[in-house]
Copies of this chain bind each other. A is one copy, B any other.
Amino acid sequence: MAKINPLSGFPELLPGGRVVERAVIDELASVFELHGFTNIETRAVEPLERLAKGGEIDKEIYLLKRLSADASDDASRSHLPLGMHYDLTVPLARYVVENAGHLTFPFRRYQIQPAWRGERPQEGRFRQFTQADVDIIGAGELPFHHDVEVMTVMAEALDRLPLPALTLRFNNRKLIQGYLEGIGVNDVTPVLRVLDKLDKLDRATVVRMLVEQERLDERTADRCLALATISSADDSFVTQVEALGVRSELLATGLEELHAVVDASRSVTTQNVRVVADLRIARGLDYYTGTVVEISMKGYEHLSAVGGGGRYDALATDGRTTYPGVGISFGVSRSVVPLVNRGVLRGSRPVPSAVLVAVVSEEERAVSVRLAQQLRNRGIATEVAPSAAPFGKQIRFADRREIPFVVFPGMDGSAPQVKDIRSGVQTDLDPVAWLPPEGDRRPRVVARF
């Protein structure tokens, strides 16, 4: 094997970076479970016909092919062409319909898995990437309060992550549609697509596009902008929208829903998450029908959204029952990999071990192994030195792995000792009572931002 280069678009983390990724995943999973969301994993592949939608995404689908397909292999022949899933929503929809008879609804699940897209790699955009999705799926109906629930759960989880500040930008499709219809715009989707460009183009350009491409009159285009430029981190968006003077039942419902989602999400975020009503947010995808949300990360706005989601009234259908859903996805790889690669986040050590037990001589290795097991019995991650080198060398071995404590077995009846190799302080050790300080027990995430 000669020198090996990384594969573009398929990021892998060194052990210290993986500490960060696992901390993020564990925190998300822990909050989702506290709220009663069950974990599932779906297979990596779906029949191609379920993945291909005839849109842009189709080009990015990875197909799975046997290197040497054996014509006599029945199982192989009977398979439809298979592709790797490019998100966790398509597999969820299929899982729900396939297993509907065995699930209870509303079905509350989270899923943290990789997905694959053959797109051009760039920072935060990968060909294999892990995302964390939390959704609630109803059978036939799904009351609006689940929108509030799933968004607050994600807000609470994100608020605890060791990441740069995150912003949740909410909007509501009913609000936009009710407003646009109220000002006489009937073909809403293409207008939304233009308004979505407000983060890249200036206001005048967007107005001109609405007039020239979408054939709106100037006043209507201005009124579109008047809504889309409302953004507030408090409740003032409600009076701002009302002040625009458009009356519509759909608009009123959407405004009320948006207010409820924003209010509840804000109430659970205290540290790291900012909650904003941003009436420009539309989310390109056609299937959203109510709440929509996008997540951005401070200083990494060029990654565009690090997550998003919303309400879809028809996630799936089996012909008889329609399954509405509401959910939100967070890009674990998209946020974590750039932060780790830039050295902004790292694990406090690349190994779980809080303790290295030194070895006096190979003949006495068993003494160190027993001592290590005593510590492990009380939950202290411990490894034994790989060789009976001079103690100075064993300490340097621990230091290279950033293991904070070295334990020396007692010799000739003396007590074992423990050394904090950062401070150099060395004391007697009672192997059935000693504990490292709480902060040293597990690798922590160390941030520099």
Binding site for B on A (CB under 8 A): 1-15, 18, 21-22, 33-45, 47-48, 52, 58-68, 70, 73, 75-76, 78-79, 82-84, 93-95, 97-99, 102-104, 106, 108-109, 114, 116, 118, 120-121, 128, 143, 145-146, 149, 316-319, 350-353, 362, 365, 376, 379-384, 386-387, 397, 400-401
Q: How far is the CB of A201 from chain B (nearest CB, A)?
A: 26
What separation, in Å, do the CA atoms of A35 and B128 have in the docked complex? 30
Verify B61–A67 contact, CB threshold 8 A.
yes
Which single member of B13, B40, B386, B397 contacts A18 (CB below 8 Å)?
Answer: B40
Q: Kindly list chain B residues whose C-beta atoms are within 8 Å of the C-beta of A352.
A: 33-34, 36-39
Which single member of B14, B48, B351, B365 contacts A36 (CB below 8 Å)?
Answer: B351
Closest 9 CB pairs of A and B: A36-B383, A36-B353, A33-B352, A10-B43, A4-B98, A61-B67, A15-B38, A66-B118, A34-B376
Verify B145–A45 contact, CB threshold 8 A.
no
Verify A22–B9 contact, CB threshold 8 A.
no
A1, A99, A350 — most chain B CB neighbours (10 Å)? A1
Q: Kindly list chain B residues whose C-beta atoms are within 8 Å of the C-beta of A397.
A: 104
Q: Kindly report which residue of chain B lies nearest to residue A58, judged by CB atoms.
A: B67
Verify B75–A44 contact, CB threshold 8 A.
no
A14-B102, A43-B128 are known contacts; what are 20 more A-B pairs with Cβ within 8 Å? Answer: A1-B93, A1-B94, A1-B319, A2-B319, A4-B98, A7-B45, A13-B41, A18-B38, A34-B379, A36-B383, A37-B352, A58-B67, A59-B70, A62-B67, A63-B65, A67-B83, A75-B121, A143-B387, A146-B386, A149-B384
Verify B67–A351 contact, CB threshold 8 A.
no
Q: How far is the CB of A75 from chain B (nearest CB, A)?
A: 5
Verify B45–A67 contact, CB threshold 8 A.
no
What separation, in Å, do the CA atoms of A240 and B82 have in the docked complex? 54
Verify B318–A1 contact, CB threshold 8 A.
yes
Verify B52–A67 contact, CB threshold 8 A.
yes
Q: How many copies does the complex hold?
A: 2
Which single member of B10, B21, B98, B108 contacts A351 (CB below 8 Å)?
Answer: B108
Verify B108–A383 contact, CB threshold 8 A.
yes
Verify A62–B59 contact, CB threshold 8 A.
no
Q: How far is the CB of A111 from chain B (nearest CB, A)?
A: 10
Given A39-B22, A63-B67, A381-B36, answer yes or no on A120-B73 (Cβ-Cβ < 8 Å).
yes
Q: Kindly list chain B residues whose C-beta atoms are within 8 Å of the C-beta of A22.
A: 39
Verify B39–A18 contact, CB threshold 8 A.
yes
Verify A128–B2 contact, CB threshold 8 A.
no
Q: Kindly report which residue of chain B lies nearest to residue A61, judged by CB atoms.
A: B67
Q: How far is the CB of A282 from chain B (nearest CB, A)?
A: 26
Verify A45–B97 contact, CB threshold 8 A.
no
Which single member of B79, B114, B143, B351 contacts A386 (CB below 8 Å)?
Answer: B143
What separation, in Å, do the CA atoms of A71 and B106 have in the docked complex? 45
Q: Kindly list chain B residues whose C-beta atoms are within 8 Å of the C-beta of A379.
A: 34
Verify B67–A1 contact, CB threshold 8 A.
no
Which single member of B42, B76, B109, B118 contacts A15 (CB below 8 Å)?
Answer: B109
Q: How far is the CB of A58 from chain B (nearest CB, A)?
A: 6
What separation, in Å, do the CA atoms of A64 and B83 have in the docked complex? 9
What separation, in Å, do the CA atoms of A138 and B57 have in the docked complex? 44
What separation, in Å, do the CA atoms of A149 and B383 have in the docked complex? 10
A-B contact pairs, 12 of them (CB 8 A): A3-B318, A4-B94, A4-B98, A4-B318, A7-B43, A9-B75, A14-B102, A14-B103, A15-B103, A36-B351, A38-B352, A45-B128
What separation, in Å, do the CA atoms of A5 and B78 have in the docked complex? 12
Q: Kindly list chain B residues whose C-beta atoms are within 8 Å of the C-beta of A52.
A: 67
Which single member of B11, B35, B43, B318 contacts A12 (CB below 8 Å)?
Answer: B43
Given A66-B118, A387-B143, answer yes or no on A381-B84 (Cβ-Cβ < 8 Å).
no
Q: Kindly list chain B residues whose C-beta atoms are within 8 Å of the C-beta of A383.
A: 35-36, 108
Q: Kindly list chain B residues whose C-beta atoms are within 8 Å of the C-beta of A318.
A: 1-4
Q: Kindly list chain B residues whose C-beta atoms are within 8 Å of the C-beta of A45.
A: 7, 10, 128
